């Protein structure tokens, strides 16, 4: 049986030095890191589509509750939106930033006005930073929690550091498409595609678990294989600035190279030649649960 994939444009995984750095950080800190709140409801994931940019942290719901440091730390900056409304950009609302060892900085944003308490220079995990609110550019009460590695100049997915939460629902692959020129063709078993370069798109996501309707969030990882060989992987592990834009660390994919305007993920670009092949799209959440879909395709002149 001939194979449809003559060649593939590989979307690389994280570069080895960066991956080693992230794994070293995780190994050094994960056992001592704890969640910043007691009731943990993920309402936004790292790297998800925010219209024209990646989300650089996670959003945690659970209602108004105390927010505490995930590690002992020194105060970098804190700001109460109600105290001086015009002096700073207001997107974060009331927030606190702490510096920990080995260049790690954590950010706690959208806190309630007036909840920061007396000023102090250092904090312990038992200390209260504030209370979950909806200050700044927040569409509802939640904590925006972000982790930055100052040495690498990156925002790192906090779910790499925090104890995993058990997911009640597996990741979802709703639909897979081939983008042929300007045409978006649904891919199901037996799909017929013309030879040449095509982009593979997927509506793939994890679901927010505290609402009764479908609220999609970015997965931790998405990969594409052709006839058993992985040709592409997108890992939402970290973000950095390259050439004046925010990109996924390692692959240097920008927001526009990962997301279509409707939020579909741009998974891979492959060059197809006549024949039959198996295309597999896999998506994984932060807990390690994975969903895969294999599609048999036929390429004809």
Which is nearest to 12 in space by CA: 196, 173, 158, 230? 230
Which is nearest to 206 in space by CA: 268, 258, 265, 248? 265
What's the pLDDT at 11? 47
Q: Which CATH class is domain 17-160?
A: mainly beta
Helix H, strand E, coil C: the string for 194-235 is CCEEEEEEEEEEEECCCCCCCCEECCCEEEEEECCEEEEEEE
Q: State pLDDT tens for residues 185-198.
A: 999 999 999 998 99
Q: Coil, helix or strand for 18?
A: helix
Beta-bridge partners for 196: 272
What's the pLDDT at 88? 67
29 token code pair: 């800190």
What's the pLDDT at 24? 55
What's the pLDDT at 193? 94
Structural domain boundaries in the chain: 5-15+167-299, 17-160
* Phi/psi at 27 (5° precision): -65, -35
Q: Are 176 and 202 in contact (CB under 8 A)?
A: yes
* Phi/psi at 29 (5° precision): -120, -20
What's the pLDDT at 263? 95
| Residue spans of alpha helices (H) in the chain | 16-29, 255-258
Find the length of the chain: 301
Strand 172-180 to 183-186 pairing: antiparallel
Q: Are 116 and 66 in contact (CB under 8 A)?
A: no
The CATH architecture annotation of domain 5-15+167-299 reads Sandwich (2.60)
2 token code pair: 């001939």
Cα 124 from Cα 212, distance rounded (Å): 37
Q: Coil, helix or strand for 25?
A: helix
Q: Are 119 and 67 in contact (CB under 8 A)?
A: no
What's the pLDDT at 77? 94
**Grouped pLDDT means (10 residues each) for the chain, 301 residues:** 38 45 50 84 96 96 95 95 73 95 94 93 96 93 96 94 89 96 94 93 95 93 94 96 89 95 95 91 96 96 82
What's the pLDDT at 89? 66
Q: State pLDDT tens for residues 170-187.
A: 999 999 999 998 899 999
């Amino acid at each position: 049986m001939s194979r449809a994939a003559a060649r593939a444009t590989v979307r690389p995984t994280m570069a080895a030095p960066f991956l080693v750095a992230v794994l070293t950080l995780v190994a050094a800190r994960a056992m001592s890191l704890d969640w910043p709140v007691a009731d943990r409801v993920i309402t936004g994931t790292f790297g998800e589509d925010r219209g024209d940019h990646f989300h650089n942290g996670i959003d945690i719901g659970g209602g108004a509750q105390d927010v505490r440091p995930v590690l002992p730390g020194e105060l970098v900056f804190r700001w109460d939106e109600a105290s001086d409304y015009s002096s700073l950009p207001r997107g974060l609302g009331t927030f606190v930033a702490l510096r920990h060892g080995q260049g790690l900085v954590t950010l706690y944003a959208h806190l309630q006005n007036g909840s920061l308490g007396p000023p102090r220079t250092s904090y312990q995990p038992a200390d209260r930073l504030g209370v979950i609110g909806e200050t700044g550019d927040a569409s509802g009460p939640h904590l925006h929690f972000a982790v930055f590695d100052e040495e690498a100049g990156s925002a790192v997915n906090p779910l790499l550091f925090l104890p995993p939460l058990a997911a009640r629902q597996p990741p979802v692959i709703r639909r897979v498409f081939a983008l042929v020129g300007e045409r978006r063709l649904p891919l199901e078993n037996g799909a017929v595609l013309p030879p040449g370069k095509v982009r593979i798109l997927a509506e793939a996501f994890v679901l927010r678990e505290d609402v009764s309707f479908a609220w999609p969030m970015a997965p931790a990882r998405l990969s594409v294989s052709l006839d058993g060989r992985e040709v592409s992987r997108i890992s939402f592990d970290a973000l950095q600035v390259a050439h004046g834009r925010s990109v996924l660390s390692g692959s240097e994919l920008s927001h526009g190279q990962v997301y279509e305007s409707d939020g579909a993920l741009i998974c891979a670009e492959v060059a197809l030649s006549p024949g039959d092949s198996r295309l597999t799209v896999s998506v994984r959440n932060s807990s390690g649960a994975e969903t895969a879909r294999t599609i048999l395709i036929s390429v004809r002149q």
